[in-house]
Structure 1
Amino acid sequence: MVDAGSTGSRIHVYRFHQCSDHEPVTLEDEELFAQTIPGLSAYPDHPEKAAESLDVLLNDAVKVVPEHLQRKTPIAVKATAGLRLLGQEKSENILKAVRHRLETKYPFPIVGGEDGVAIMDGRDEGVFAWITVNFLLGHFDRSDTHTAAILDLGGGSTQIVFEPDRLPDGRLPELPDNDFKYVLKHEGREYVLYQHSYLGYGLMEARKRMHQQILSHLPEDVSQEERDEIFHACLPQGLTWKYSKLAEPIHFKGLGAYDDCLGIADLILNKEKECELAPCSFNGIYQPRFGESFTQGPIYVFSYFYDRTQPLGLPASFRLPELAALTESICNGEFLENVTDIALRDEILDRPEWCLDLSFIYRLLSFGYEIPHTREITVAKKINGVETGWCLGAAIAILGDNSLKEEAH
């Protein structure tokens, strides 16, 4: 399974055990996990180069999968938000080049027809991640535990998926019959899930939005001298930082102002947008109230939620006030003053957007999704040694593909 993400591409090679259709799938091992930077979307006008960027991963897979099984080992390439944001023509050219390279250079059969090398629907991305986490936690094997909610934060988008609590009489909750409702049939059971993928609210896109929010308050006739010193609440106090993602580069001057930075994050979450189908989370999107509709199961977050909190020592299980305190200490500089680890100190100094990233993450969870401050949140890169994210769930879904079984015999 190749995860063609917005900031890089990753490959997972899994070994499963299933002797018959009636037997539950068990995961024997994750034989390979490897990644490469940048992602396919870094080559918008060079589709062949995009396809070639996957060679380093596919060559590793050829070494790992026994030669006599290679033509029976299916492959799928699923692109996510980064490629979606390129537009249809450029993304299709890249996907065609990837498919051609797979078919002509590698032994693995592409599974799923046209969907075998494709941009993944945001609905599936979240639900596959939900399957991954609950599969690894063993929740599909037991009926006496509530499934976990999952929140994923990529570069281009963020996803939330959860199974709302059953009603007091044991009935499934009523969800509107629209894109937010996902009825999943898995190993003989039916799950009614709420899901949504917020395109444009991944961490890299959120950074752009927050910088743009600062710039949107500048007068049109701003002088060059003023462009060289634009105050930014979310950058470290006293730092002058060149922002070059504009036609004319500008310089931000950091203020390290925690409360003001949270305010900028709140603005981009767009809570004021009209909510056509209530209740809404943010940006006018329908979502059952999290604190009322999901009271039983655990909450798991991963991807950039992990990457931005764990190097700073946030516990693997935390509550939102702990994240708020960490964010404030990063923004006002106190955290850096007490860092003795030289590598961590260099990492913080080298990445001026730590305060911005953490402020967005904290407000996404607390203000956007409205997770209660009393709830425990678990951040996990791996569960039982296996990577979280959507890849394992997508692979498990492929195992239910009957056409694949016919090919494999």
Structure 2
Amino acid sequence: MVKWRYAVILDAGSSGTRVYVYRWLDSARARQSASPKELKSLPEIKTKKHWTKKIQPGISTFADKPSRVGPDHLDKLLKHALDVIPEPDVKDTPFFLLATAGMRLLSDADRDRILSEVCSYVKSHSNFLVPDCGIHIQVIPGATEGLYGWIAANYLLDSFDGDTDAHESGHHTYGFLDMGGASAQIAFVPSEAEARKHANDLTLLRLRNLDGSIQEYKVFVTSWLEFGVREARRRYVEALQKSAGGPKTKEIPDPCLPDGLRTSLDGKPVSSESRETQLFGTGRFDECLELTYPLLDKDAPCPDEPCLLHGIHVPAIDFNVNHFVGISEYWHTTYEIFEMGYKDKAYDFNTYQERVNQFCSQDWSAIEKGISEHRWGSKVDEDKAMEVCFKASWIINMLHSGIGIPRVGLDSVKASTQNGTKEVLEHGKEKGYLSTFQAVNEIDSTEVSWTLGKAVLYASSLIPVGENDLPVGFGSNQPGVPPDFQYPSIRGPTIIKETDFETWREALFGGESPRRIPGLLLFLLIVVIMAFYLCGRNRRGRIYHKLQSFFGHKGSRFSRGLGGKLLGLRLNSPAYERVMEEGGLDLGEMSGSSESDRGDSLDYDSSKSPSKRSSLFNGSNTPTLKFELDNGSGSSIGLGISNIHDRQGMVLRNDSREHLVPAVASGSRSRAGSPTRMYRKSPVLAPMDGEQ
């Protein structure tokens, strides 16, 4: 029985592709040692840091050379995954490449060409499980990416392990925020009042516990394309250039760059003598905040109230109920520089903005010196330092002016009629997520990545259930299985019927029970007995004689007692093999039958005329019959013995010539010496004409 299950998931982002390998116990094994609480929990997914690998750039850069995406990009990631997963498990390990915002910005034709090349390369260079490229290799919508991230964050925060009935408000999950290079996502479960008001805007998510019971959540998820830091920066530079007089202007002041730093429009350092259009930093962070605020597009028309950004509908957020965690750029921009160099790690709006002001107002030469001294940690290089002031202003505007998260120390949280705040705080107290917003990178040493959410969903779908149970996945907020329901993989493996055989197999081969060895021996004994009775009467007779010679002479207690009964033989009679009774069947009665009607296993002299075939079973004309061992034949009956039927459906007896003589007799082949044979019937043959 399989012990571990694996999944390989590639996050094909705008700036690079990262491979993740996840592992969990097979559900049958996990249930053997699970406590009652664990049986009501989702599968335990594990990963390790060295199981992850990232390469750059993103696959979207292969739009003009799609044939190179395999050898130049995927090859290293496939080899890394194959080094992690044991070779026997590869064929059962699903492979997913899920592309995000970078690929969303390409044309449909460019996307299709790249994905087609990815599918072909993975199938030809690995044995990973890819039953449907349309599901396993695709560009996922931003809402799906946000939902996977919401699953991952709440899974690591143990939000799915609690008893929902224990929370008076029924609310015990965290909100989720993600920001990459091209897009930003938000996912949360609204308060009960908002959920009723905006039921049609919610996504139904269904997960399955180890014991087969389900967990369902109604989550609001949305995504803002072009609201990631790279795309926001592009829009910001375009606005700067336009306000400065257009493309003819060669020098443009940029308050989001440290004082004294000069870059090209795409952010590369340049000298003052360069003739290309360049940005020169002024180090005015307050002005930077003002210039990035319009990028939120909060004044866009809102056809479905309420909206947050860019006219996109979002239900009202009750921050007394919804506490958020943020990953990716929310983490990198708040932690790598503005917390690494300080003892106090807690997020506080006043403290954070003060540190950003202090950093960005420095002269660029002072920042370069701090980088060389590793003042902000070894991960901070010049490229990150050049970008961080813009990123910080964008993060602050997104969090507080865009989404509306209260500025700790300045804004008060609006009173709520929901009483879920205490439960949420108690639930996350040990992990320290007490603030309305907390940037995270890892929880319990596991990276918070949306790919983990995909792995949780897939592992949950493999848990055996009844045939009529609802499947794992997500779709529109409708009962049952809505038309747009998304399965974790192909639909087939999601429903597995657990049989009694599976229970026996686990009892015999799994677990640490002291009865495991006796059970295994009993199982082997049953297999031997079954094989013994299936081997045929003749072979059983030969086995008996061997046992007889081993235990004693023919009249011993063994031969008279248990041995004879088990073998089903008449042991007081001469040991004859099966013979064909005279007059049993006259082939001449099958008028007009061809040789093919009699079956390929019948071998006779083809020179005989049809008129003589009626006596083939008499005297010296007894035919030679063959047992064909081709079990693939349509006339085979299990052990390779071919059936021969006449046109009325009668079964012909076709024992071979060598079995027509007594096993212990010699000399004449007379049939008169068979005193007990008579008309013993085979249990697998239909009665012949004349038999009763």
TM-score normalised per structure 1: 0.89
Aligned equivalents of 1:393 and 1:4: distance in 2?
15
Matched, 1:45 2:64: yes
1:7 to 11, 15, 39: 15
Tell me the residue number matched to 2:525: none
Aligned equivalents of 1:244 and 1:193: distance in 2?
37
Tell me the residue number matched to 1:184: 205
How far residue 164 of structure 1 moved from its aligned partner, in angstroms, is: 1.3
Rate the CA distance shift 1:352–1:15 in 2: closer, same or farther, 3 A: same
Aligned equivalents of 1:319 and 1:174: distance in 2?
33
Aligned equivalents of 2:360 and 2:338: distance in 1?
15
How far residue 256 of structure 1 moved from its aligned partner, in angstroms, is: 1.1
Rate the CA distance shift 1:123–1:112 in 2: closer, same or farther, 3 A: farther
How far residue 86 of structure 1 moved from its aligned partner, in angstroms, is: 1.6
Matched, 1:359 2:388: no
How far residue 166 of structure 1 moved from its aligned partner, in angstroms, is: 2.6
Q: Residue 236 of structure 1 contacts residue 355 of structure 1 at CA under 8 Å; is this kept in 2?
A: yes
**SS of corresponding position for 2:293:** helix
Overall identity of the aligned pairs, in %: 27
Q: Output aligned runs, 1:96-135, within 5 Å.
A: 96-111=116-131, 113-135=133-155
> One-letter code of the match for 1:16?
W
Aligned equivalents of 2:95 and 2:260: distance in 1?
50
How far residue 334 of structure 1 moved from its aligned partner, in angstroms, is: 8.2
Tell me the residue number matched to 1:403: 492
Q: Output aligned runs, 1:80-229, within 5 Å.
A: 80-111=100-131, 113-142=133-162, 143=164, 144=167, 146-167=172-193, 172-175=195-198, 177-178=200-201, 181-187=202-208, 188-220=214-246, 223=248, 227-229=249-251
Q: Residue 256 of structure 2 contacts residue 389 of structure 2 at CA under 8 Å; is this kept in 1?
A: yes
How far residue 215 of structure 1 moved from its aligned partner, in angstroms, is: 0.9
**SS of corresponding position for 2:309:** coil
Tell me the residue number matched to 1:263: 290
Aligned equivalents of 1:368 and 1:326: distance in 2?
21
For structure 1, the residue ranges without an aligned partner over 5 or more in a row are: none
> One-letter code of the match for 1:305?
Y
Task: Judge which range, 54-63 or 350-359, deviates more.
Answer: 350-359
For structure 2, the residue ranges without an aligned partner over 5 or more in a row are: 1-8, 32-38, 209-213, 269-274, 409-434, 462-488, 497-501, 503-692
Q: Output aligned runs, 1:315-330, within 5 Å.
A: 317-330=346-359
1:34 to 53, 56, 61: 53
Q: Residue 270 of structure 1 contacts residue 282 of structure 1 at CA under 8 Å; is this kept in 2?
A: yes
Aligned equivalents of 2:316 and 2:371: distance in 1?
42
Matched, 1:304 2:326: no
Aligned equivalents of 2:316 and 2:57: distance in 1?
37
Task: Judge which range, 313-322 or 398-407, deviates more.
Answer: 398-407
Q: Residue 139 of structure 1 contacts residue 146 of structure 1 at CA under 8 Å; is this kept in 2?
A: yes
**SS of corresponding position for 1:129:** helix
> One-letter code of the match for 2:118?
V
Q: Residue 322 of structure 2 contacts residue 436 of structure 2 at CA under 8 Å; is this kept in 1?
A: no
Aligned equivalents of 2:349 and 2:493: distance in 1?
44
For the pair shown, which has the larger CA radius of gyration, 1 or 2? 2
> One-letter code of the match for 1:206?
A
**SS of corresponding position for 1:272:** coil
Aligned equivalents of 1:379 and 1:252: distance in 2?
31
> One-letter code of the match for 2:329?
Y
**SS of corresponding position for 2:200:** coil
How far residue 324 of structure 1 moved from its aligned partner, in angstroms, is: 2.1
Aligned equivalents of 2:110 and 2:375: distance in 1?
39
**SS of corresponding position for 1:100:** helix
How far residue 323 of structure 1 moved from its aligned partner, in angstroms, is: 2.7
Aligned equivalents of 1:205 and 1:105: distance in 2?
34
Give the paired residue count: 396
Aligned equivalents of 1:377 and 1:267: distance in 2?
23
How far residue 110 of structure 1 moved from its aligned partner, in angstroms, is: 1.4
Rate the CA distance shift 1:111–1:388 in 2: closer, same or farther, 3 A: farther
Matched, 1:233 2:250: no
How far residue 344 of structure 1 moved from its aligned partner, in angstroms, is: 4.5
Aligned equivalents of 1:356 and 1:2: distance in 2?
29
How far residue 189 of structure 1 moved from its aligned partner, in angstroms, is: 2.7
> One-letter code of the match for 1:262?
L
Tell me the residue number matched to 2:315: 288
Aligned equivalents of 1:327 and 1:130: distance in 2?
29
**SS of corresponding position for 1:318:** coil
Q: Residue 371 of structure 2 contacts residue 382 of structure 2 at CA under 8 Å; is this kept in 1?
A: no
Q: Output aligned runs, 1:70-89, within 5 Å.
A: 70-89=90-109
**SS of corresponding position for 2:203:** strand
How far residue 286 of structure 1 moved from its aligned partner, in angstroms, is: 1.5
TM-score normalised per structure 2: 0.54
Aligned equivalents of 1:150 and 1:253: distance in 2?
36
How far residue 133 of structure 1 moved from its aligned partner, in angstroms, is: 0.8
How far residue 383 of structure 1 moved from its aligned partner, in angstroms, is: 1.3
> One-letter code of the match for 2:47?
E
> One-letter code of the match for 2:404?
E
Aligned equivalents of 2:345 and 2:443: distance in 1?
12
Aligned equivalents of 1:307 and 1:172: distance in 2?
32
Deviations 1:192-227 (A, max 9, x none): 21111111111111111111111121335x65xxx3
**SS of corresponding position for 2:313:** coil
**SS of corresponding position for 1:216:** helix
How far residue 329 of structure 1 moved from its aligned partner, in angstroms, is: 2.0
> One-letter code of the match for 1:403?
G
Q: Residue 76 of structure 1 contacts residue 117 of structure 1 at CA under 8 Å; is this kept in 2?
A: yes
Greater relative contact order, per chain length (Cα 8 Å cut-off, separation 6+): 1
Q: Residue 60 of structure 2 contacts residue 103 of structure 2 at CA under 8 Å; is this kept in 1?
A: yes
Aligned equivalents of 2:398 and 2:334: distance in 1?
14
> One-letter code of the match for 2:264?
K
**SS of corresponding position for 1:177:** helix
Task: Judge which range, 108-117 or 199-208, deviates more.
Answer: 108-117
Q: Residue 236 of structure 1 contacts residue 254 of structure 1 at CA under 8 Å; is this kept in 2?
A: yes
Q: Residue 76 of structure 1 contacts residue 111 of structure 1 at CA under 8 Å; is this kept in 2?
A: no
RMSD: 2.8
Tell me the residue number matched to 2:644: none
Q: Residue 441 of structure 2 contacts residue 447 of structure 2 at CA under 8 Å; is this kept in 1?
A: yes
Tell me the residue number matched to 2:658: none
